[in-house]
Chain A
């Protein structure tokens, strides 16, 4: 597929579209990193992902582009916005968003950018891919996935299931290990020691912790 580089001027329409999309992606990525408002960072991330989806379309990877729009813009950014709301982050303009290691970050950034750009430019200077449409449609990509990538696909389905269960376990508040008195409410805590024998005989194994906690909560709610 590699051929000689044709004339770079005049640029083709693909290159013009790609350059515009690249400028949009770079600018919005810089704004994600530098903006002072957290919600605006998430919204600029939408712009960046949209520009990258356009770049995938120019690269004739249609399926990846639509999956990018669906998963990143539709799911991940919405989840990030939910996270911003749930952690009661400051909505407006807020100071103190940056930590103090700007010099280290700038050094690392300049070094990484120099190495990556040098390697890429030297390694692929003469690489040119003539683009023809229809390379990455859903039919061909699905055939490729289900012919030669079945095992990673199934492993990823198990990974998604594990992530689902893990998120449920992490975010439920009524699953607590041994000591429920550590973060129980103030007035309910002193009444708990006399009462747990009352509602039911507690089981002897580890499940007694959650049963005792819910039992004490019920008792304190009745008393109050």
Chain B
């Protein structure tokens, strides 16, 4: 049972990683990062059940809060970049300064 959950978590993490590497739109890259964070959350909750305490669930809760903050800041940055560059593609933002 634990192994099933961990294998599902690993496969979700890999799918999210492929999305981060392959997709070009910055918002879809964000979605794939969220997918990877969810895979980690699933592993945390599984380990919490395995060890019989609640610490993994608390960590998963904290990870969700950090993910919410990250999405807020990331979308603000993407919208700002779109306002100046008229593009949301990660390939167009390859310079730190111009």
Contacts and interface: CB of A to CB of B under 8 A. Distances in A.
Interface of A: 1-2, 14-15, 18-19, 22, 25-26, 29-30, 32-33, 38, 41-42, 45, 48-49, 52, 55-56, 59-61, 63-64, 67-68, 71-72, 75-76, 79-80, 82-84, 86-89, 96-99, 101-102, 104-106, 108-109, 112-113, 116-117, 120-121, 124-125, 127-129, 131, 135-136, 140-141, 144-145, 149, 152-153, 156, 159-160, 162-164, 166-167, 170-171, 173, 183
Given A52-B38, A117-B10, A121-B7, A99 B54 contact: no
B23 A164 contact: no
B4 to A, nearest CB: 6
A49 B14 CA distance: 16
A79 B24 CA distance: 19
Given A59-B45, A76-B71, A98-B22, 8 more contacts: A33-B19, A38-B28, A68-B64, A86-B82, A105-B17, A145-B58, A164-B72, A170-B76
Contacts of B82: 86-88
B45 A48 contact: no
A32 B82 CA distance: 22
If over half of B's interface residues share one DSSP class (helix, strand or loop), that class is named, otherwise mixed; here it is helix
B17 A112 contact: yes
A69 B27 CA distance: 20
A15 B1 CA distance: 7
Contacts of A167: 72-73, 75-76
B62 A64 contact: no
23 contacts: A29-B16, A45-B34, A48-B12, A55-B42, A60-B49, A61-B60, A72-B64, A76-B67, A80-B27, A97-B24, A98-B24, A102-B22, A124-B6, A127-B2, A129-B52, A135-B54, A136-B45, A144-B58, A145-B61, A160-B68, A163-B69, A170-B76, A170-B80
Closest 7 pairs (CB-CB, A-B): A163-B69, A116-B10, A105-B21, A170-B76, A33-B19, A87-B88, A120-B6
A144 B56 CA distance: 11
B87 to A, nearest CB: 8
A18 B4 contact: yes
A195 B52 CA distance: 71
B36 to A, nearest CB: 10
B61 A87 contact: no
B31 A42 contact: yes
